[in-house]
């Protein structure tokens, strides 16, 4: 397999990230929409119109441009492209061509994710990641998108956090399809790695852009003699994926915190400062996770997500200050990192937690959808400018 490392930008990419379902609104044809509306759902509230970015993506990109960032990571909603099996919605493809062109017009490199947690209803109904055809279907979807839009891609993430799709959907039972079964979790992880490979292969002919997937990583601490359980879990959610990344052009590392792990699994909460997500304020996870990833794989790394859910914008600045310092230490240590994407551009739909956690550099009025940059956005823009001036 040919790697395309040469086509990475020759400078470090500073960016911000979003995902279709969390910002577009109206994702009615997905498993998540149904999950949020089911009687007795554990989802805090429905996604609804989200940030209405389906109609307001130009405003979003104006914000990205105003911050002077190099790149914008967003995702394409499979349920819109292929609303029923094998039927491609050309208007939906045109819509995303518009988003890609709007990036180009502003000098922003588009980093495109093809699957970010949501499945079309017809795929979910056919068994989702346990359907015997899922690998074929995801490869076919990637091929269609690549053929139509690949000439505009700067970089592609096939699947966002397949390990979280498996862990939350098939072990913790808090994402669709709400299953809790170790063996099914293990086999879905293996299927997701094969889906990624099928998608990457289907995308290869579409252009000279780096292809990889993104992985949720964390610093972990074993508590109450949880070392063996932690090793078993981590083997599934990190190690197997890190090894699989060797066949790619890059690996997206996504990190937010440090988790404690006991024999009964992940322990929420903990002592010290916590974020709105209920896990520790732990920006130094950036250096830690990059170091761990680079011990497993030699492909270039990109921090495709890092940030904090908080209503306290000063806490966000403190988090980002420490996170960028942590990134710098990893780079100074020789880890091959090519970019950093803050999560997220907007306060958006945070899955089962709804709109309560605020990850955005910009707030979004839930009635008018007006965007307003927060002081942390200016802080990030300044930090990026200073990093560039210092040659970083």
Footprint on this chain of ligand BGC (rule: CB under 6 A): 19, 22, 160-161, 164, 216, 254, 305, 343, 350, 359
Nearer to ligand BGC, 74 or 137 (CB): 74
Q: Quick one: which H or E segment has residue 373? A: strand 371-373
Shortest spacing between CB 113 and ligand BGC, in angstroms: 9
Q: Which C-beta is closer to ligand BGC: that of 93 or that of 286?
A: 286
For residue 105, the minimal CB distance to ligand BGC (Å) is: 26
- Which residues is 112 bridged to in the sheet? 74, 156
For the CB of residue 358, give the shortest distance to ligand BGC in the complex, in Å: 11
Q: How far is the CB of 206 from ligand BGC (least distance, A)?
A: 24
Minimum distance of ligand BGC from residue 306's CB (angstroms): 9
Q: Of 206 and 281, which has the nearer Cβ to ligand BGC?
A: 281
Contact 60, 371 (CB under 8 A): yes
Nearer to ligand BGC, 161 or 248 (CB): 161
Per 3-state DSSP, the chain is made up of helix, strand and coil in percentages (nearest 5) of: 45, 20, 35
| Shortest Cβ 208–ligand BGC spacing (Å) | 26
Burial per residue of 175-192, b for 16 or more beta-carbon CB atoms within 10 angstroms, e otherwise: bbbebeeeebbbebbebb
CA atoms of 293 and 378, how far apart (whole Å): 30
Q: Give least dist CB 246 to ligand BGC, A.
A: 22
Q: Which is nearer to ligand BGC, 275 or 294 (CB)?
A: 275
With contact defined as beta carbons under 8 Å apart, do 198 and 136 qualify? yes
Q: Which residue, 144 or 301, has its beta carbon nearer to ligand BGC?
A: 301
Nearer to ligand BGC by C-beta: 21 or 96? 21
Nearer to ligand BGC, 140 or 196 (CB): 196
CA distance 359 to 351: 12
Q: Is 141 helix (H, G, I), strand (E, B) or coil?
A: helix
CA dihedral 358, 173, 18, 276 (to 10 degrees): 20
**Rounded least distance, CB 117 to ligand BGC, Å:** 6
DSSP-assigned letters across all residues of 144-212: HHHHHHGGG-SEEEEEE-HHHHHHHHHTS--STT----HHHHHHHHHHHHHHHHHHHHHHGGG-S--EE
CB nearer to ligand BGC: pick between 107 and 278? 278
CB of 359 to ligand BGC, least distance (A): 6
Residues 6+ apart with CB under 8 A from 192: 129, 159, 162, 163, 165, 166
The DSSP annotation for 218-274 comes to EEEEE-TT-HHHHHHHHIIIIIHHHHHGGGSS-EEEEEEEEEEEETTEEEP--SS-B
Instruction: Read off the DSSP letter of residue 137.
Output: H
CB of 147 to ligand BGC, least distance (A): 26
**Distances from the Cα of 347 to the Cα of 23, 186, 217, 275, 311, angstroms:** 9, 33, 22, 15, 10
Q: Measured between alpha carbons, how far is 31 from 47 in angstroms, rounded to an integer?
A: 12
Q: Which is nearer to ligand BGC, 148 or 282 (CB)?
A: 282
């Amino acid at each position: 397999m040919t790697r395309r490392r040469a086509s990475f930008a020759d400078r470090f990419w500073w960016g911000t990230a979003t995902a279709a379902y969390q910002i577009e609104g109206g994702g009615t044809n997905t498993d998540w929409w149904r999950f949020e509306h089911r009687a007795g759902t554990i989802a805090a509230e429905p996604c609804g119109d989200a940030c209405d970015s389906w109609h307001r993506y130009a405003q979003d990109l104006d914000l990205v441009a105003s911050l002077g960032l190099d790149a914008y990571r967003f995702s394409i909603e499979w349920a819109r492209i292929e609303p029923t099996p094998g039927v491609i919605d050309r208007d939906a493809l045109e819509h995303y061509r518009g988003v890609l062109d709007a990036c180009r017009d502003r000098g922003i490199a588009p980093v495109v994710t093809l699957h970010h947690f949501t499945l079309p209803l017809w795929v979910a109904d056919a068994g989702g990641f346990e359907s015997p055809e899922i690998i074929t279907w995801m490869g076919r979807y990637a091929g269609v998108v690549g053929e139509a839009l690949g000439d505009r891609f700067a970089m592609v993430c096939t699947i966002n956090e397949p390990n979280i799709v498996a862990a939350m959907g098939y072990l913790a039972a808090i994402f669709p399809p709400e299953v809790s079964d170790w063996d099914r979790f293990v086999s879905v992880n293996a299927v997701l790695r094969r889906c990624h490979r099928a998608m990457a292969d289907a995308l290869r002919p579409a252009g000279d852009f780096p292809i990889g997937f993104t992985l949720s990583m964390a610093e972990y601490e074993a508590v109450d003699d949880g070392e063996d359980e932690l090793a078993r879990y981590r083997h599934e959610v990190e190690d197997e994926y890190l090894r699989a990344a060797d066949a790619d052009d890059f690996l997206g590392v996504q990190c937010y915190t440090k988790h404690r792990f006991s024999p009964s699994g992940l322990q929420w909460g903990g002592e010290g400062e916590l974020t709105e997500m209920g896990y520790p304020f732990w920006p130094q996870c950036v250096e830690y996770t990059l170091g761990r990833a680079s011990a497993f794989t030699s492909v270039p790394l990109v921090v495709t997500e890092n940030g904090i859910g908080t209503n306290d914008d000063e806490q966000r600045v403190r988090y980002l200050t420490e996170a960028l310092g942590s990134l710098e230490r990893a780079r100074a240590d020789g880890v091959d990192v090519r970019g950093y994407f803050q999560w997220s551009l907007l306060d958006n739909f945070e899955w089962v937690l709804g709109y309560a956690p605020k990850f955005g550099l910009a707030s979004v009025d839930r009635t008018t959808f007006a965007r307003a940059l927060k002081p942390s956005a200016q802080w990030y823009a300044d930090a990026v400018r200073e990093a560039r001036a210092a040659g970083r």
